[in-house]
């Protein structure tokens, strides 16, 4: 008994510790870290899930009832009835009403996500085959973000999710994200923030989030984009205002040097 309790307690503790990334045997959503994701989880858990369960149970009951009530041995002379007007009206109207009940709050969430509030910070995410490029237009910071190979991972870095250059944002600030692509379709997705937008070449899509908890959050490209689609993760590090200012100071120097070195390589290759 103690062993079983230990296994269950270990499972739930590990879920809590890694709530910002997928975990083994995960059944539900990642832990919400923004208002948008809380809305999505509440919509799913409090409305969609009960409706789905009720429909599944009802359909199962009808199937079992039909199998038992209308089996061949119980009906040597089967009914020749072809239709029932009342039943046909009901099974048309009731699903329509259920869809309306689900659609109204769903549209509210979608429109709320599209109504971008005044941004405290703007970031541009550009999808490439197969990595992400980021720009902070107001800070003149530009860098690329590549997945860290498994052989180079540190002990605290998750496989297929950790990157060399993370997106850093301050906590409790509205972050506007401009999303596009340089080659084919990609998608910028962060489950903990309830964010997912297609990255389309020649077009800029917009989304936003307001991270409420300090921590590191992981996502992945969510649009099939080629042979290495599974190897272009997204990592966003949420920090305090003070830490963000320190990172900005370092980033202006670090990525300026990397840009100069990149330009030198391009000139040398010519």
Residue 160: helix, strand or coil by DSSP?
Answer: coil
Instruction: Write down the pLDDT at residue 156.
Output: 82
Q: Where are the domains of the chain?
A: 35-70+81-114, 121-269
Query: Which residues are registered as beta bridge partners of 234?
Result: 219
pLDDT band at residue 175, thresholds of 50, 70 and 90?
very high
* Percent of the chain at pLDDT exceeding 90: 64
| Angle between helix 35-43 and helix 85-114 axes, rounded to 10 deg | 170
pLDDT per residue as tens digits for the range 24-40:
787 888 888 899 999 99
- On the question of pLDDT at 12 being above 70, the answer is no
Q: 121-269 sits in which CATH class?
A: mainly beta
* Mean pLDDT of all residues in 155-181: 93
Instruction: Write down the pLDDT at residue 265.
Output: 47
Instruction: Write down the pLDDT at residue 11.
Output: 39
Instruction: Write down the pLDDT at residue 255.
Output: 84
pTM of the model: 0.77
* C-beta separation of 123 from 132 below 8 A: no
* C-beta separation of 176 from 21 below 8 A: no
- On the question of pLDDT at 122 being above 50, the answer is yes
pLDDT band at residue 3, thresholds of 50, 70 and 90?
very low
What's the CA gap between 44 and 65, in Å, rounded? 30
What's the CA gap between 147 and 160, in Å, rounded? 7
pLDDT per residue as tens digits for the range 68-118:
988 888 888 877 778 888 989 998 999 999 999 999 999 999 998 888 899
Q: E-assigned strands of the chain?
A: 121-128, 131-136, 141-145, 167-170, 175-181, 186-190, 195-199, 205-209, 215-220, 233-239
DSSP string for 25-67: T--SPPPP-SHHHHHHHHHIIIIIHHHHHHHHHHHHHHHHHHH
* Mean pLDDT taken over the chain: 86
Give the Cβ contact number of residue 29 at 10 Å.
15
Give, in order, the Cα–Cα distances in Å from 63 to each of 67, 79, 139, 212, 228: 6, 18, 63, 47, 45
CA atoms within 13 A on the CB side of 193: 34
Instruction: Write down the pLDDT at residue 95.
Output: 93
pLDDT band at residue 1, thresholds of 50, 70 and 90?
very low
* Mean pLDDT of all residues in 171-187: 95
- The better pLDDT of the pair 210, 268 is held by 210
Instruction: Write down the pLDDT at residue 207.
Output: 93
What's the CA gap between 147 and 232, in Å, rounded? 6
Instruction: Write down the pLDDT at residue 9.
Output: 40
């Amino acid at each position: 008994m103690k062993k079983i309790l230990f296994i269950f307690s270990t499972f739930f503790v590990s879920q809590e510790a890694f709530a910002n990334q997928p975990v083994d045997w995960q059944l539900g959503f990642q832990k919400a870290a923004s208002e948008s994701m809380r809305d999505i989880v509440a919509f799913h858990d409090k409305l969609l899930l009960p409706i789905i369960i009720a429909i599944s149970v009802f359909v199962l009951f009808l199937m079992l009832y039909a199998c038992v009530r209308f089996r061949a041995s119980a009906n040597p002379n089967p009914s020749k009835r072809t239709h029932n007007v009342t039943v046909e009206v009901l099974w048309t109207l009731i699903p329509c009403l259920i869809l309306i009940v689900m659609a109204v709050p769903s549209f509210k969430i979608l429109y709320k996500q599209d109504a971008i509030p005044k941004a405290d910070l703007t970031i541009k995410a550009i999808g490439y085959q197969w990595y992400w490029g980021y720009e902070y237009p107001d800070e003149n910071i530009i860098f690329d973000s590549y997945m860290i190979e498994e052989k180079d991972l540190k002990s605290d870095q998750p496989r297929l999710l950790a990157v060399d250059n993370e997106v850093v944002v301050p906590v409790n600030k509205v972050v506007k994200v401009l999303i596009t692509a340089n080659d084919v379709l990609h998608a910028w997705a962060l489950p903990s923030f309830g964010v997912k937008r297609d990255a389309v070449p020649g077009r800029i899509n917009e989304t936003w989030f307001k991270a409420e908890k300090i921590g590191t959050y992981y996502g992945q490209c969510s649009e099939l984009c080629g042979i290495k689609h599974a190897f272009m993760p997204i990592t966003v590090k949420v920090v305090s205002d003070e830490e963000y200012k320190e990172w900005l100071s370092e980033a202006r120097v670090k990525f300026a040097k990397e840009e100069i070195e990149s330009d030198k390589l391009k000139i040398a290759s010519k």
